[in-house]
Amino acid sequence: MSNIEALRAALAAGPTPGPWGLWGKPDPSQVISAESTFLAQTVGGHDAINAAYIAAACNAAPDLLAELDRLKAERDALRSQLAGMVTLLETLRTVGESRYCYVQARAGQMVHVADAIDAANAALKEPTA
């Protein structure tokens, strides 16, 4: 199980709702819920820093996973659009001399696109997580 899958499973299990906060004086080393329920105590040095990290990470986790899902969907849509563009550009390659592919730009100049097609194909072959 990946770290992302483990985080999703932990959130699906129904942890104490956030936001989580800090408690303790002079250095807050306890993590508490929004209802001031004690959740965790950090020990072993850097207690206040570790407690702050735990609370911040727990509060951010749902938003981070939502952003990850949004970015993956955007990536998949862009990959699909790129694949369509590559298919179109492949039809422009000349028969036999496929390394010499040019198209006319809107400004009128001829643009070499074979390397761009090859780079886009290579990018589409890279695995996605």
Tell me, yes or no, whether 10 and 58 share the same domain: yes
The pLDDT value given to residue 45: 84
- Alpha carbon distances (Å) from 70 to 4, 16, 73, 111, 121: 14, 25, 5, 34, 24
Are 31 and 50 part of one and the same domain?
A: yes
For the cut 80, the answer to whether the pLDDT of residue 85 exceeds it is yes
Same domain, 1 and 59: yes
Give how many domains the chain has, as a whole number.
2
Residue 77 pLDDT: 95
Global pTM value: 0.75
Last residue of one domain, picked from the residues 16, 45, 65: 65
DSSP state of 16: P
Mean residue pLDDT of the chain comes to 88
Q: Are residues 76 and 61 in the same domain?
A: no
53 and 80 assigned to the same domain = no
Last residue of a domain, one of 65, 81, 116: 65
Q: What is the largest CA-CA distance in the chain?
A: 77
Task: Say yes or no: 110 and 59 in one domain.
Answer: no
